[in-house]
Amino acid sequence: MLRQEEIQVVIDEQQLSFHQKRDFIPRDAMDYIPIEPHFATIITGIRRCGKSTLLLQLLKARYSGALYLNFEDIRLIAFEASDFARLKQEIDRRAIRVLFFDEIQLASHWEVFVNQLLREGYTVFVTGSNASLLSKELGTHLTGRHLSMELFPFSYREFLRFRQMQPEADSLQAYLLAGGLPEYLHSDNPLVIGNLLDDILVRDIAVRHAVRDVASLKQLAIYLLSNVGALASANKFTGLFGIKSSTTILEYFNYFADAYLMEFIPQFDYSIKVQARNPKKIYAMDNGLVDAVSTSSTRNVGRRLENMIYLHLRRRYSEIYYFKEKGECDFVVFEKGQIQHAIQVCHQVESTNFAREYDGLMQALRYFNLDRGVIVTANQSDHFEAEGKYIDMVPAYHYLNQLLH
């Protein structure tokens, strides 16, 4: 239990720090924040991707004042459900109607408090770095009273604005290695990435899910981040890093995804059971993480380009698969169950790999009866027509600079 004065001091100091925060560049996500009366807006994403900065930009653009409170503050570690009454007194005393709560899911029964605020006409924004912990509570007291969105690290377009660069081969290479985490880009200090990874693995995963063997958890995470674009299955890793159970491996996979550290996309099949049975492909939530922790002796730029294209697609779509028959297509993208795009990624198309890349994409186009497909490269352009189908080969710096529809 906290005293009223303690809550007041934390709010005052956090408010000052919040308003002094660097707001970097305007985020593209500003245009997509869902805001409706009587609905809480839930913003989730990997740590340090800019959620609180987005709130600051929102405050400057739409609101004359808002109360910001981050529940990860060590001074709030003793915060109990009964302390929400004292927090409400502070809100009323300040006569503030717009509320920004960061990592509020750390406080028990937070959803009851937010629901009360919505009934009283407050505008409430909640941010968090763990999707499942938020959604678990949202499914109880806030069912039908919340609107959700995801925030990602800088896109290529945002990276260009931040670095004041043009869409070209040099800026693509810089983004390929550095990624888009704002704090890391600003400091250019690898320790920022290392600390971020530790925070995710320890605070977001090990502590929240009572994982005892943190060393094995970290070994598995580093291995996966070093092998983006590769296939992964629980059985493949059973026995490695001291993890003896495939069930534990699957749990770790889910924890990584919930914390927005990495995602695992399935092979396309109309059968959910077949999807679950086949290996999944690993993709990291930022290329900066890949570069900072990679144990590979060489930088696999092809895999990192593939990861970059995945993130570009993931900002717009959530239904993404890889396609495999005789050949393979890196990405087939759906929206509401309807096929939208088929994309192949190849860093450098040469005589030795052209047939593989072209045939894999053509097989996907035939299977889904699509007229058009794309081969994304580092710096090559071309166009092909066959069987009434059109394939464009485009440089990634052009493809990434487009808005997906």
282 phi/psi in degrees, rounded to 5? -95, 135
Cα 47 from Cα 51, distance rounded (Å): 8
Question: Rounded distance, CA 74 to CA 17, Å?
Answer: 15
Q: State the span(s) of the chain assigned CATH 3.40.50.300.
A: 4-150
Crossing angle of helices 110-119 and 83-94, rounded to 10°: 30
The 3-state secondary structure of the chain reads CCCHHHHHHHHHHHHHHHHCCCCCCCCHHHHHCCCCCCCEEEEECCCCCCHHHHHHHHHHHHCCCCEEEECCCHHHCCCCCCHHHHHHHHHHHHCCCEEEEECHHHCCCHHHHHHHHHHCCCEEEEEECCHHHHHHHHCCCCCCCEEEEECCCCCHHHHHHHHCCCCCHHHHHHHHHHCCCHHHHHHCCHHHHHHHHHHHHHHHHHHHHCCCCHHHHHHHHHHHHCCCCCEECHHHHCCHHHCCCHHHHHHHHHHHHHCCCEEEECECCCCHHHHHHCCEEEEECCHHHHHHHCCCCCCCHHHHHHHHHHHHHHCCCCEEEEEECCCEEEEEEEECCEEEEEEEECCCCCCCCHHHHHHHHHHHHHHHCCCEEEEEECCCCEEEEECCEEEEEEEHHHHCCCCCC
pLDDT of residue 21: 86
The answer to whether the CB of 220 falls within 8 A of the CB of 241 is yes
* Cβ-contact 264, 281 below 8 angstroms: yes
Q: Model's pTM, two decimal places? A: 0.95
What pLDDT was estimated at residue 405? Answer: 55
Residues 54, 173, 285, 354, CA torsion sign:
positive
Amino acid 113: pLDDT: 94
Distance in angstroms between the alpha carbons of the first and the last residue of the chain: 49
Q: What is the pLDDT of residue 90?
A: 96
Give the C-alpha distances (Å, rounded to integers) separating 28 from 32, 184, 308: 8, 19, 17
Of 360, 234, 241, 354, which is closest to residue 295 (Cα–Cα)? Answer: 241
- CA distances (Å), 233 to each of 42, 249, 325, in order? 31, 9, 19
Position 139 scores a pLDDT of 62
Residue position matching structure tokens 């005892």 = 212
Contacts of 394 (CB under 8 A, 6+ apart): 374, 375, 376, 377, 381
Tell me the fold of 4-150. Rossmann fold (3.40.50)
pLDDT digits (tens, 9 = 90+) for 278-315: 999 999 999 999 988 875 555 689 999 999 999 999 99
Cβ contact 45:130 at 8 Å: no
Spatial distance between the Cα atoms of 359 and 365, rounded to a whole number of angstroms: 10
The answer to whether 288 and 179 have CB atoms below 8 angstroms apart is yes
CA nearest neighbour of 399 among 345, 349, 362: 345
Distance CA 1, CA 357 (A): 61
Residues of the chain with pLDDT under 50: none
Q: Nearest 5 degrees, angle CA 263-CA 216-CA 48?
A: 45
Contact 367, 375 (CB under 8 A): no
